[in-house]
Structure 1
Amino acid sequence: MAHYGKNAPSDPPTHHTRKVLGYFFKGFGPILLVAAILVFIAWRPLGKPPAPANLALAIVLLAVFFIQAAFNMWQDWSSSRVMASIKTMLPDHCLVTRDGAQLTLLAEEIVPGDILTIKMGNKLPADVRFIGASSDARFDRSILTGESVPLAATVDSTNENYLETRCIGLQGTHCVSGTCIGVVVATGDKTIFGRIAKLTNEPKKGLTTLEREVLHFVLIICAVMLSVIVLVIIIWASWLRRDYPDWINVPNLIISCVSVAVAFIPEGLPVAVTASMTISANMMRKNKILCKSLKTVESLGSVSVICSDKTGTLTQNKMTVIDCALGNERMSVKQAHDALVLNQAQNPSGTHNALDQLRSLAGLCNAAEFDAATRRLPIEQRTIYGDATDQAILRFSEQLGSVAELRRCWQTKYELAFNSKNKYMIRALGLVHPDGKSMSLPSDTAAVFEPADILLTIKG
């Protein structure tokens, strides 16, 4: 442990002093602070007698200064929540064989050379070299690759590439079936997952487009403001002070210059920018898009087309069915549930339509399983063992009716696992009591529809 360190992603370097100073001195912060100090000086000791209005103005300027810093601090806090979720992707405990004895240790305590026992439902706490694997051992690597199809684990090397070979298990990947035994070969930041997490947490160099535009705007405003203030001082020194010595004294000159500066400063700019980006981020969050930083909202708003297979595998690795299509009719999950209830009420004899069969297909031809310990939780919060696609489809089926009751009536006779070449899986099912068989076939749409002669719709 002393040599290799803890098996956990290292925290990104944090310069607290620089970060706190950045909260206060971004944008117009320095100008507001200098203006407040000058007004305080104009109140005392230069004010004879001290003017209460000057004190009030200084307090207002300081209040705006701290409010701006508070908004900057809140923005930084909101953007750090996503990065904190990376550590939750790793398991807490693991089964380790060390010095001939099997122990349950914290995942952060394992070191290279430890032998791990991995079972279905476990996540790999480190990169391992498999030395034993059952024939049905499969690992979901979607957290790293985005590909939801599980890969088989083998003892023999299948590729010289560390990332491609099947004899290596990568940290954070999920065992969806089978059992394996592996030797730890990398921990912490030296794992593939750790390297990705470290790159994600590294501070970005340079300014974003929004920061450059705001900085450019601030510099223009400051240049114009300083020019006007210098002009006011020149007019006062060369004319007003000489011809009207009792009209504007030094404290009043300071107040006048500060008033000119405050007139040029859009104090609400930081608040307005942060508020507008927050509103945009909340709108994106409702559509299952979580922004790492509010500054990325502006960059994303400039994009015309986004080409993506699937997202969220690093932060959540959770897919959700939001609607379904039956023939040429599309409906949300709630609409599908209501239509199914209505059909059952209108056809108590048990006549099935396409929606019934879709619900049965989603629940029966599915390799995922609910964790019995979480059966009392809402469907969205229940733990499921299986790959991300099967989890999403199983939750969809459960929302339409109890999958456990459905599976109780059927037993699997034959199963052909999904593969990326055929783009389908087959599961032959038989009724538990009476004689009868059914075949379910979830797949790529084109793989089934092209050879099909008959299509069952929601109406029959």
Structure 2
Amino acid sequence: MGEPERGDATAAGSNEAAAAPEYYRLSVGDVTRSLDTDMRSGLTDAQANARLADFGPNSLPAAKKIRLFQRLLGQLHNPLIYVLLAAGAITAFLGEIVDSSVIFGVVAVNAVIGLIQESKAEAELESLRSLIRTDARVVRGGQEHLIPSEDLVPGDLVRLAAGDKVPADLRLTRLEELQVDESALTGESLPVVKSDQAVSKEAPVADRLSMAYSGTLVTSGEGQGIACATGPDTEMGHLHRLVGAAVPLQTPLTAKLAGFSRLLSVGILALAAVAFAIGLYRGNEPAEMFTAAVALAVGAIPEGLPAAVTITLAIGVARMARRRAVIRHLPAVETLGSTTVICSDKTGTLTENQMTVQTVWTPDRGYEVTGSGLAVEGDLLGADGSGADLDADRALRWTLLAGSACGDAALTRVNGGWSVVGDPTEGAMLIAAAKAGLQTEAVDALMSRAATIPFSSERQYMAGLFHEKGGGYLVLAKGAAEKILDLCNTEMNAEGQTRPLDRETAMQKVSELADKGMRVLATAVQTPGLSGRARFAEEELRGTLVFTGIQAMVDPHRATVPAAITACHTAGISVKMITGDHGRTAAAIAAQVGLVDGRNPGRVLTGADLASMPESEAAEAAGRATVFARVAPEQKLRLVEALQARGHIVAMTGDGVNDAPALRRAGIGIAMGSIGTDVAKDAADMVLTDDDFSTIEAAVEEGRGVFDNLVKFIAWTLPTNVGEGMVILAAILFGTALPILPTQILWINMTTAVALGLMLAFEPKEKDIMSRPPRDPARPLLTRALVMRTLLVSGLLVAGSWGLFHWELAHGADLAEARTAAMNVFVVVEAFYLFNCRSMTSSAWRVGLFSNKWLLLGLTIQAACQMAITYLPAMNTLFRTAPLKADTWLLILATGLVTSLVVGFEKRLRRLSRGVGDI
């Protein structure tokens, strides 16, 4: 048919490849013809070289690096910084070198702090590229070669064996018991048994059994396939594009601070221009008015805010790390506190990611298996609570023996615990047998396997011929219940005797356990004493086996998860499960952990359901549903965007490559530290070191505490900036000398922000923090209550500083002394007001004066700084200050005390009225 077109090799499901052949639904012959290859000899070297030149290497595009200089410039991209830079330039032009140097110094400090805290250049695209790098066994010209995976081209015939990483998207043409771990791509927790048969067009990625996708891992068996997509055209390449296209959102606080900064910048410039115009109108010198306008602008800008926000978030990062949540991007700390929806993966987050047998049922009895995970400690308890007796229940003994011996998994010791090598379901059955005293060594001492009928997707069972030590041969089998029962005409009772098979009762029990989300496997035995002789030809097994029982296993939910989900619901946070597993399994786990119940029945949607819905209906369904099963990567991203369109702040968890686009797009992406892929971790804002959902709830609590402390800082710092601007404006309007100078304003703003304001970052969380709903994402940063509080305190600051400035001048003080007194009024009032800001509603006495010892340290540092700028000659010269008398300090302290009492009274009125609004 000629050379394949470039688009023909694009992975199915890509938006860019709507017209490309969907190879998973084509026959092997059609695929061979479409890609112009030979299913025995593969491509010729000439064909391969031509296609490599046409299609390019089998790799993903490298991530674009951000230069250090560009990142540094990014730290200056803020309207408030622009105003400060303009102010510094104007003061330098006017010859005020000290003032200009201080202003530029403040800008430089903020930029360096921002640069240090900024995360390294995005690494998820590079991780995706490295994920698919491997060597490939390819057949060209009838000869097998080992080549770098980058040299693969569409049409290459690739061979696979256990342990291989799939090097490209392959349409499988031949296989023997091939199983592939696709969890990183699809979220499916168990290896997938592959087939060479075409599947339907509607099949999602997880159900395309005829395909082996790039970057996945062969766990058992072997096979070969034709490369139908390479590099950016693979399913992994499709995810690469999704990751690149998923633009990270601004966090709620950074978005609000950006809007606040723009508004404040416009207001400051307008006010400075008005003040300058008024001064000129009154006949003042232009240079003098420039200085006054700069002082007004510098005073109104909260210079310490960027640094304070960064450091407060960094303190939150340290607190979260102690609770096993590692933050990769600082703003994610605050985002957690505003989260309204958590989209959680199932496997490893809500569950332990360790298959565990929980129920063993025999035709006569049922048993509960205690213990969970990869621990051999536990018991098999009967209905009366007594332990299992293998001699008293022979059917139980054979059920456990079949589960343990008829498999290829093994238990190994790792760091004092146990690890399963091989299929996790087989490992679960090994552990169940060990709990009853049938450890692997004991089973091996009883019998050895002589031959095997391996498991296959068509057969759906595995059987082994075993030689009993000192005896004859027997057959053990395990597999899907329907298939095992098809091989049986009889069943075993507790005494070890056979009787006619009661298939209806057995299948009823299977359905009952499956409805609970369990994976059910049945076991059977054939011994010479039961069937006359051991026959092992597959066609002779039907009707000769004896059904012994079933084992039902599940990946159990984490013990801490139900309480964590309840806490989230109490806090007004909706929790949704998004998983690649089947709907029934997901729904059962959701019911067990409290995601759905009688009051919150929720709704289960599959990826197929979502694909069939119109965009508008799907967005509505995303809000109503609680469980999303069998979803594709694009749908995870689509769900996150649909929830965001409804005004939600979305936290998305994930561990696989398929989760990366949604993790990056979400308000906060949360990756698993233990089982997560590097791609998921690089795309995320936060990594859970223990993979536990309850850690997310703890992180949300810490995030709310951080957000509270940021709001407290803003509520504390704004009155100072407004007051400084107002006192400068008053001086211009009344034609008097400036009560404070630009350098003094910068001193006030930077020292108090560090020594006083940052102490609020150490405030303990308030007791009701997880009993209130999330902060409304649409709620403005400057609420009406906060504006009123700011105007109240700034008015008191203006009155106190203006009044004391003129009081000092009237009583013989020179201009430097009067300005020093006015400057200290601002600092002392800020110190008194700091205690009021420890809670936006409760009184300082109720919070406790000594519950935050960092405040006392900050007050001590600030007092030392004020003594230095007031009394040290060098500081007097640099900042144009002068020493103060004792009676002046009494007036300053009185101003601070009055301000604290007035604010305390205002808070009491707010509590009593309950209608004025919260800060």
**Which of 75, 99, 103 is 1:54 aligned to?**
99
Alignment of 1:182-197 (within 5 A): 182-197=225-240
Q: Which amino acid aligns with 1:441?
A: Q
In structure 2, the partner of 1:270 is 306
Scaled by the length of structure 2, the TM-score of the pair is 0.36
**Which of 397, 414, 417 is 2:477 aligned to?**
414
Shift of the alpha carbon at 1:196? Answer: 1.1
Secondary structure of the equivalent of 2:170? strand
Are the structure 2 counterparts of residues 138 and 281 from structure 1 closer, same or farther at C-alpha, using a change threshold of 3 Å?
A: farther
Are the structure 2 counterparts of residues 5 and 279 from structure 1 closer, same or farther at C-alpha, using a change threshold of 3 Å?
A: farther
User: Which blocks of at least 5 consecutive residues in structure 2 are unaligned?
Assistant: 1-51, 360-366, 380-386, 389-399, 445-463, 465-475, 483-509, 526-547, 557-583, 586-919
- How far apart, CA to CA, are the structure 2 residues paired with 1:120 and 1:160? 28
Secondary structure of the equivalent of 1:2? helix
Secondary structure of the equivalent of 2:122? helix
Shift of the alpha carbon at 1:12? Answer: 4.5
**Which of 53, 59, 77 is 1:2 aligned to?**
53
**Which of 95, 113, 127 is 2:155 aligned to?**
113
Shift of the alpha carbon at 1:167? Answer: 1.2
Shift of the alpha carbon at 1:280? Answer: 5.3
Q: Would you say the 8 A contact 1:91–1:124 is kept in 2? A: no
User: What does the per-residue CA deviation read over 1:63-115, in whole Å, with 9 as the maximum and x for residues that have no partner?
Assistant: 234325414xx4242x7245544344335222222333322222222221222
Q: Would you say the 8 A contact 2:164–2:218 is kept in 1? A: yes
- How far apart, CA to CA, are the structure 2 residues paired with 1:283 and 1:370? 40
In structure 1, the partner of 2:382 is none
- How far apart, CA to CA, are the structure 2 residues paired with 1:170 and 1:416? 26
- How far apart, CA to CA, are the structure 2 residues paired with 1:56 and 1:114? 66
Shift of the alpha carbon at 1:23? Answer: 3.1
Secondary structure of the equivalent of 1:241? coil
Answer yes or no: is 1:86 the counterpart of 2:128: yes
- How far apart, CA to CA, are the structure 2 residues paired with 1:415 and 1:120? 22
Are the structure 2 counterparts of residues 320 and 216 from structure 1 closer, same or farther at C-alpha, using a change threshold of 3 Å?
A: same
Choose 143-152 or 54-63, whichever is displaced more. 54-63
Choose 274-283 or 162-171, whichever is displaced more. 274-283
Q: Which amino acid aligns with 2:166?
A: L
In structure 2, the partner of 1:66 is 111
Are the structure 2 counterparts of residues 150 and 289 from structure 1 closer, same or farther at C-alpha, using a change threshold of 3 Å?
A: farther
Answer yes or no: is 1:102 the counterpart of 2:144: yes
- How far apart, CA to CA, are the structure 2 residues paired with 1:443 and 1:189? 39
Alignment of 1:333-348 (within 5 A): none
Alignment of 1:51-450 (within 5 A): 53-54=98-99, 56-71=101-116, 74-77=117-120, 80-81=122-123, 84-134=126-176, 136-161=177-202, 163=205, 164-202=207-245, 204=247, 209-239=252-282, 241=284, 250=287, 253-278=289-314, 294-295=330-331, 298-310=334-346, 386=423, 406-411=439-444, 413-416=476-479, 422=514, 423-426=518-521, 441-444=551-554
- How far apart, CA to CA, are the structure 2 residues paired with 1:257 and 1:140? 67
Q: Would you say the 8 A contact 2:404–2:426 is kept in 1? A: no
Are the structure 2 counterparts of residues 181 and 443 from structure 1 closer, same or farther at C-alpha, using a change threshold of 3 Å?
A: same
Secondary structure of the equivalent of 1:214? helix
Shift of the alpha carbon at 1:144? Answer: 2.2
Shift of the alpha carbon at 1:128? Answer: 0.2
Are the structure 2 counterparts of residues 367 and 329 from structure 1 closer, same or farther at C-alpha, using a change threshold of 3 Å?
A: closer
- How far apart, CA to CA, are the structure 1 residues paired with 2:327 and 2:124? 8
- How far apart, CA to CA, are the structure 2 residues paired with 1:331 and 1:240? 88
User: What does the per-residue CA deviation read over 1:14-38, in whole Å, with 9 as the maximum and x for residues that have no partner?
Assistant: 6758655323313533233323333
User: What does the per-residue CA deviation read over 1:229-263, in whole Å, with 9 as the maximum and x for residues that have no partner?
Assistant: 12331233222526xxxxxx72x554443333232
Q: Which amino acid aligns with 1:103?
A: H
Q: Would you say the 8 A contact 1:367–1:390 is kept in 2? A: yes
Q: Which amino acid aligns with 1:443?
A: M
Q: Which amino acid aligns with 1:424?
A: R
- How far apart, CA to CA, are the structure 2 residues paired with 1:325 and 1:284? 34
Are the structure 2 counterparts of residues 331 and 129 from structure 1 closer, same or farther at C-alpha, using a change threshold of 3 Å?
A: closer
- How far apart, CA to CA, are the structure 2 residues paired with 1:84 and 1:237? 59
Are the structure 2 counterparts of residues 323 and 32 from structure 1 closer, same or farther at C-alpha, using a change threshold of 3 Å?
A: farther
Choose 200-209 or 233-242, whichever is displaced more. 200-209
Are the structure 2 counterparts of residues 406 and 274 from structure 1 closer, same or farther at C-alpha, using a change threshold of 3 Å?
A: farther
- How far apart, CA to CA, are the structure 1 residues paired with 2:273 and 2:352? 61
User: What does the per-residue CA deviation read over 1:405-442, in whole Å, with 9 as the maximum and x for residues that have no partner?
Assistant: 95344358433269998532548699xxxxxxx98835
In structure 1, the partner of 2:491 is none
- How far apart, CA to CA, are the structure 2 residues paired with 1:12 and 1:193? 15
Q: Would you say the 8 A contact 2:355–2:553 is kept in 1? A: no
Are the structure 2 counterparts of residues 371 and 64 from structure 1 closer, same or farther at C-alpha, using a change threshold of 3 Å?
A: farther
Shift of the alpha carbon at 1:329? Answer: 13
**Which of 72, 76, 79 is 1:24 aligned to?**
76
Q: Would you say the 8 A contact 2:106–2:303 is kept in 1? A: no
In structure 2, the partner of 1:36 is 88
Q: Would you say the 8 A contact 1:10–1:198 is kept in 2? A: no
Shift of the alpha carbon at 1:184? Answer: 0.7
Q: Which amino acid aligns with 1:174?
A: L
Q: Which amino acid aligns with 1:160?
A: K
Q: Size of the alignment, in residue pairs?
A: 393
Identity of aligned residues (%): 22
Are the structure 2 counterparts of residues 293 and 265 from structure 1 closer, same or farther at C-alpha, using a change threshold of 3 Å?
A: same
- How far apart, CA to CA, are the structure 1 residues paired with 2:481 and 2:84? 63
Q: Which amino acid aligns with 1:269?
A: L
- How far apart, CA to CA, are the structure 1 residues paired with 2:422 and 2:271? 68
Superposed CA RMSD: 5.2
Structure number with the higher helix fraction is 2
- How far apart, CA to CA, are the structure 2 residues paired with 1:279 and 1:324? 43
Shift of the alpha carbon at 1:385? Answer: 5.3
Shift of the alpha carbon at 1:205? Answer: 7.8
User: What does the per-residue CA deviation read over 1:315-336, in whole Å, with 9 as the maximum and x for residues that have no partner?
Assistant: xxx97569999999999989x8
